[in-house]
Amino acid sequence: MDTITTSIFELFKVGPGPSSSHTIGPMKAGSDFMALSRALPVDTKELVEKLEIRLFGSLSATGAGHGTRKAVISGLLGHSPEHCPPEVLDNLDRTPDETHELDLVGTFVTFHANNIIMDAVEHDYPHSNTMVFRLLDKNENTLLEREYYSIGGGFLRWKGYVEPERGRPKYPYNNMAALKKHLTDNDIRLHELILENEKAITGRTEQEINDALDNLIEVMEHAVEKGITTTGKLPGPIGLHRKAPTMYGHARNEHFQGSGFIKALNAYALAASEENAAGHCIVTAPTAGAAGVIPAILFVLKRHMGALTEEIREGLLAASAIGFLVKHNASISGAEVGCQGEVGTASAMAAAMLAYARGYRFQITENSAEIALEHHLGLTCDPVGGFVQIPCIERNAMGAVKAYNAYLIATTVEAAYHMVDLDKVVQAMKETGHDMSQKYKETSEGGLALSMTEC
């Protein structure tokens, strides 16, 4: 199996909610296709009559509720996820006959929003979340075509994609056993290993990596702060009320003691998740749908446990290791393996971050992550109406509480009593996801999604 060469900042990405595979990936696809179109020879560009985009799989099934159409259009218009244009997104795709003039450099093409077609949910493309972009001439002949795959967490691939050249990691590994061996053989700590690998893979300096981590911490904290102070209903036909401010108010009244602490933890996860559902700026951690879990634990570490920035950075590096292992050996995409891959992975990463930032060494960190992931196995993805709201928002709160509980178990019970290692649970997650019916993989065609079919 290949060595893991994913960067920390491919896993943790700043962008607009509510679903990284439905917003960040498609936005990138729109932007990429425009770059390809602009690079065409002038005489080909002059023949362009129409741009057609077909969405397949869960992008078709739940794309409307996830804002995929808006995301694609904003990408075509030149926006990128990092700059989080919620106000731009809010004003796109308001009417079916909306048009935009797209600049191909030297010529323009009029893009009709209704040329984004929600195509088949079941299909034969190699990835569930497939998008086919085509430039057509007046006789509907294809002048340019690219088949994109939004593979989860905002990652974008396409047919014929070749992984860009990147540096070899200093400590190559593809599973937890190999990672553990490096730690022992080289007498190095987990965060140091991840940092060294990041430097080798991306060429970034330690200062640049720390600055980028601090930016992630700031965006996560901001999402929680905004969420616990924002009231009202979330966008969409469900009419779901935000719960975070109420929950936070109760926690504060109880002085964050006893159940007040758990209420605060819930409130923080609800807050960042509600911001995600509102289409505001979040960090994929590792996906947008699961963007509340890690910020909740981060907020607890900082505001309730007095963790230093340095400790939080180290915790995020430890969380990255868990995210890399799951992404590499199973999946972090709800469309591929259900919610166990999203909230389950987030919970495992958060548990690892908490243990590591609290000063526990590797074995406790791994056990914390393993316990959290183990108790998300089999979790399906069945968002009501295709909106990342029910069950997603409360599920993030549950994921944060489970992360905290996994940390409590791992730090209380003898580590030697622990029987399952992370590699085994990741493998179990992969197999469970493989056996899971397609209707429980972000299509809104099964489970809880059927309980409110009017959405």
Binding piece for ligand SF4, criterion CB under 6 A, among 236-244, 301-309, 315-323, 380-388: 380-388
- Least CB distance to ligand SF4 at residue 6 (A): 20
In this structure, what token pair is assigned to residue 153?
A: 């967490």
- For the bound state, the minimum distance from the C-beta of residue 94 to ligand SF4, rounded and expressed in Å, comes to 24
Could you tell me the smallest distance in angstroms from the CB atom of residue 287 to ligand SF4? 6
Between 48 and 373, CB nearer to ligand SF4 = 373
Given the rule CB under 6 A, which of 102-110, 158-166, 190-198, 385-393 is the region that contacts ligand SF4?
A: 385-393
The answer to the question of residue 336 lying near ligand SF4 (CB under 6 A) is no
Cα 268 to Cα 324: distance, rounded to the nearest angstrom:
25
* 392 makes contact with ligand SF4 (CB under 6 A): yes
| Residue 196 structure tokens | 């060294």
Q: Which stretch binds ligand SF4 (CB under 6 A): 101-109, 296-304, 391-399, 425-433?
A: 391-399
AA letter at 327 = K
Smallest separation, CB 180 to ligand SF4 (Å): 29
Give the per-residue contact string, 104-143, with ligand SF4 (x = CB under 6 A; - = no). ----------------------------------------
Q: Tokens 């920390």 label which residue?
A: 8
Residue found by looking up tokens 């700026």 in the block: 281
Any bridge partners for residue 158, and if so which?
148
* Given 16, 154, 236, 383, the residue binding ligand SF4 (CB under 6 A): 383
Residue 152 has φ and ψ, to the nearest 5°, of 105, 150
Q: Does 388 bind ligand SF4 (CB under 6 A)?
A: yes
Q: DSSP for 148-201, please give it.
A: EEEEETTEEEETT--PPP-PPPSS--SSHHHHHHHHHHTT--HHHHHHHHHHHH
Q: Please report the DSSP string for 205-245 in residue order.
A: -HHHHHHHHHHHHHHHHHHHHHHHH--SBPSSTT-PBP-HH
395 near ligand SF4, judged by CB under 6 A: yes
Give the integer Cα–Cα distance in Å for 129 and 65: 15
| Residue 351 vs 410, nearer CB to ligand SF4 | 351
Cα(428)–Cα(142) distance, rounded to whole angstroms? 43
Helix (H), strand (E) at residue 122:
none
Q: Phi and psi at residue 321, in whole multiples of 5°? A: -55, -45
Q: Which of 290, 373, 425, 426 binds ligand SF4 (CB under 6 A)?
A: 290
The residues facing 116 across adjacent strands are: 53
Q: Name the residue nearer to ligand SF4 (CB basis): 198 or 336.
A: 336
> 3-class SS at 135?
strand
* CA 85 vs CA 89, 102, 217: distances in Å: 6, 18, 20
Our finding on whether 442 is near ligand SF4 (CB under 6 A) is yes
Closest approach of ligand SF4 to the CB of residue 408, in Å = 24
Residue 445 found at the interface with ligand SF4 (CB under 6 A): no
Residue 344 engages ligand SF4 in binding (rule: CB under 6 A):
no
Residue with Cβ nearer ligand SF4 (287 or 365): 287
- Of 234 and 343, the one with the shorter C-beta distance to ligand SF4 is 343
Residue 289 binding ligand SF4, by CB under 6 A: yes
Buried b (16+ CB within 10 A) or exposed e, 178-206: bbbebbeeeeebbbebbbbbbbbbbebee
CB of 382 to ligand SF4, least distance (A): 6
CB closer to ligand SF4, 366 vs 442: 442
The site for ligand SF4, by CB under 6 A, has a size of 14
Count of all residues that appear for the chain in the document = 455
Question: Should residue 342 be labelled a site residue for ligand SF4 when binding is judged by CB under 6 A?
Answer: yes
**Which residues between 32 and 71 bind ligand SF4 (CB under 6 A)?**
none
Amino acid residing at 409: I
Residues 14-33 that bind ligand SF4 (CB under 6 A): 19
Does 381 engage in binding with ligand SF4 (CB under 6 A)? Answer: yes
Listed in sequence order, the residues at least 6 apart from 312 whose beta carbon sits closer than 8 Å to its beta carbon are 217, 298, 301, 302, 353, 357
How far is residue 107's CA from residue 176's CA, in Å, rounded to a whole number?
52
Q: Are 270 and 244 in contact (CB under 8 A)?
A: yes
Min separation Cβ 448 and ligand SF4, Å: 8
Q: Report if residue 334 touches ligand SF4, rule: CB under 6 A.
A: yes
Which region among 142-150, 244-252, 355-363, 381-389 touches ligand SF4 (by CB under 6 A)? 381-389
Smallest gap, in angstroms, from Cβ of residue 289 to ligand SF4?
Answer: 3
Query: Which of 290/352 has CB closer to ligand SF4?
Result: 290
Give how far Cα 230 sits from Cα of 226, 248, 300, 391, 396, Å: 6, 11, 19, 20, 18
Burial class (CB in 10 A: 0-12, 13-18, 19+), 124: exposed
Contact positions vs ligand SF4 (CB under 6 A)? 19, 289-290, 334, 339, 342-343, 381, 383, 388, 391-392, 395, 442
